[in-house]
Structure 1
Amino acid sequence: MSAKKNQKFLISGGPANNLIATLERYVYDNPSCTNEALHFSDLNLREIALQSSVISETTALHKILNELAYIDFYLYLYDDIDWCENIFDFANYAAEMFPWMNIATPIEFTLKDKEIVHAAREKYAKMFLGGITQIVNSAFAYLWMRKQLLHDFNLKLSREISPLLKNVHPELASDGKIHRPSYIPKWLRDALLHRDRGSCHYCGTLVASPLVQNQDFQIDHMVPLALGGTNDPTNFVISCGTCNNQKSAKLQSISDAFHWPNRF
């Protein structure tokens, strides 16, 4: 089997920005309403956390984003159209959403014919659901750069792992701890190298160059395995040897920062 390679994905805004806001409310336990609180509680985070014992390109964050996008964009606004005063409100919604998915809007949604729009809703439901992947990928692309939020998301995952007992969950390495991965795949090493620009997440020391192939550098779990951390790709950062040894099995949160001249 050939090794996986990183591919280029187009990034869109619009609904992806709304999805990011929903994800933030989920991570920080700040639902916007009672219904959203119920949906948040229905997400099976424990199962997703356990699945993250194995490194996968479909991260825990992808899975949560997909669940939230399905609820917000499909379940409430496409599958259930009780919110519409008339079917053309729905048609306008669909016509606006498809371009954000990099899909040409089907012409039926632009026609002022109720029967045609109703038929189009059924006809293009699977296409719409497939297009949600583009919105999820775009949201993930933004969030991948926000390591403070990724740290806090993984802290939320760790709270699902920490109380688990090995005699109930034999896939664990020990109580509240998953196995350390035997290796980090190249696609993930490359993604971390380019995101972190070869610099240690904790002190900023340059430990590798994104322009050089096959370098040896240390990779650290932001939320340590000893504290319930997972092997989800969103939990990994580049680290220098000194910081990695000093941090050991402790939490160390680094706030996201933006460098720009002082405008005042």
Structure 2
Amino acid sequence: MARIADEVFYVMFLNRRALANLNEFLARYAGEVSRDNFDTDEASLADLFARDGELKRVRPPMWARRAVFYRDRGRCTACGADLSGLIDTLSVGNYDHMMPLARGGLNDVTNLQLLCENCNSKKSDRVVAPSNRYRRWY
């Protein structure tokens, strides 16, 4: 079962559109969470929320940033700008929540995509369908 779960995650992680749809579905539930509904023994869960229905912003751990960077091939998923630092050393990559935290999005590797500064500032906290641009392997 663990191997099947790993394989499914691997296949799903490559598909940003499917991940965005999954996170939109999960955001409906997270958006309805009230911090007051947690019991005293669940206080640590309440601390994860900035306010009702919105998780606190947390910097993605290094393993998640690497996974997203390699999945997105070091390019902005919106405009395709190189963010690897090999071609343009001034380009800065941003790890964007496909489903914004302000709209119930999760702090999870499945909700991240790589955007350049310009595309990230244009997107802000709006929900924008992620690019379906993928590397062909054949």
Instruction: Give the TM interval when normalised to the shorter protein.
Output: 0.7 to 0.9
Check 1:166–1:157 CA distance in 2 against 1; reply closer, same or farther (3 A cut): same
5+ long unaligned stretches in structure 1:
1-131
Shift of 1:216: 5.9
SS of 1:173's equivalent?
strand
1:220/1:237 contact within 8 Å kept? yes
| 1:191-246 deviations in Å (ceiling 9; x for gaps) | 11111011111221111259xxxx96311000000000011110011110011111
1:197/1:209 contact within 8 Å kept? no
Show the 5 A alignment for 1:140-179.
140-169=9-38, 170-171=46-47, 172-179=49-56
Q: Are 1:133 and 2:2 matched, yes or no?
A: yes
Q: Whole-Å Cα distance in 1 between the matches of residues 112 and 35 of structure 2?
A: 24
Q: Are 1:237 and 2:118 matched, yes or no?
A: no
5+ long unaligned stretches in structure 2:
39-45
After superposing on structure 2, the runs of 4+ consecutive aligned residues of structure 1 that deviate more than 3 Å are 257-260
SS of 2:33's equivalent?
coil
Tell me what 1:128 maps to.
Answer: none
| 1:29-60 deviations in Å (ceiling 9; x for gaps) | xxxxxxxxxxxxxxxxxxxxxxxxxxxxxxxx
1:193/1:209 contact within 8 Å kept? no
| 1:106-154 deviations in Å (ceiling 9; x for gaps) | xxxxxxxxxxxxxxxxxxxxxxxxxx11111111111111000000000
Q: Whole-Å Cα distance in 2 between the matches of residues 135 and 178 of structure 1?
A: 30
Q: Are 1:203 and 2:79 matched, yes or no?
A: yes
Amino acid paired to 1:177: E
Q: Whole-Å Cα distance in 2 between the matches of residues 162 and 252 of structure 1?
A: 18
Tell me what 1:218 maps to.
Answer: 94
TM-score (norm 2): 0.81
Q: Whole-Å Cα distance in 1 between the matches of residues 60 and 5 of structure 2?
A: 24
TM-score (norm 1): 0.44
SS of 1:159's equivalent?
helix
Tell me what 2:42 maps to.
Answer: none
Q: Are 1:184 and 2:45 matched, yes or no?
A: no
2:98/2:130 contact within 8 Å kept? no
Percent sequence identity is: 31
Q: Answer 1 or 2: higher relative contact order, Cα 8 Å, separation at least 6.
A: 2
Shift of 1:184: 2.1
SS of 1:167's equivalent?
helix
1:220/1:239 contact within 8 Å kept? yes
> Relative to total residues, which structure has the larger helix share, 1 or 2?
1
* Count of aligned residue pairs for this structure pair: 124
Shift of 1:164: 1.8
Shift of 1:168: 2.2
Q: Whole-Å Cα distance in 2 between the matches of residues 259 and 134 of structure 1?
A: 25
Amino acid paired to 1:205: A
